[in-house]
Amino acid sequence: MDIAEEKRRARGEAAKRRAAAHAALHETAKRALAERGLPLVRGPQQMVVSGFFPYKSEISTLPLLKRLAGEGWFLAMPVVMGEGLPLIFRAWAPGEPTVPGIWNIPVPPETAPEVLPDVLLVPMLAFDRLGYRLGYGGGFYDHTLVKLRALKKVVAIGVAYADQEVAAVPRAPYDQPLDFIMTEKDVFACG
């Protein structure tokens, strides 16, 4: 079986596991993330954290983002620009307006300034302890991490339910590892 077929099969199983975890834990999990905060200390300079609006059964980062805004972090949200392209990030803060983006996921309006994040909160279908994630197959975060890591130091934090962990995510040479994983139960450095 080739890697594309292996990933396709893994996505189906991972989506079911995530949906079950979401049905049981979505309220307590998002609160647990917010109570824990980031596994990083904010430096003296302005640092940008990119979150995400939950899509389907993704764990919500919105309460965490509200906490981070209160701690002085500058926030942004990702915007899909097209197939095979890296994401861009537009400034956003809790309570600010959004518009429907691709797949009707809310995004900041085009009038919001484009920013480069220092920290990315990354959604996923599954993850392993080495920091590899299984996404939806568009490669948006892989392309984005390659671009950003060529420009500056960034920290990629996968955010998921603990039940989304698998022994090993099928991966290809272009897949980008995460630096940390945050779940409702734990946070750990990858690798």
Q: Is the confidence at residue 135, as pLDDT, over 70?
A: yes
Q: Report if residue 53 sits inside a domain.
A: yes
Whether residue 101 is contained in a domain is answered as yes
Domain hosting residue 61, numbered range: 3-36+46-189
What pLDDT shows up at residue 1? 67
Give residues with Cβ within 8 angstroms of 127, minimum separation 6.
133, 134, 158, 160, 164, 165, 166, 169, 178, 181
Mean pLDDT, rounded, of the chain: 94
**Is 41 a member of any domain?**
no
For residue 99, give the CATH number of its domain.
3.40.50.10420
Reported as a single tens digit per residue, the pLDDT across 9-36 is 999 999 999 999 999 999 999 999 999 9
**Does 160 score more than 80 pLDDT?**
yes
Q: Total structural domains in the chain?
A: 1
Q: Is 82 contained in some domain?
A: yes
In the chain, pLDDT over 90 holds for what percent of residues?
87
Indicate whether 173 belongs to any domain. yes
What does the pLDDT look like over 30-87, one tens digit per residue? 999 999 999 886 666 789 999 999 999 999 999 999 999 999 999 999 999 988 889 9
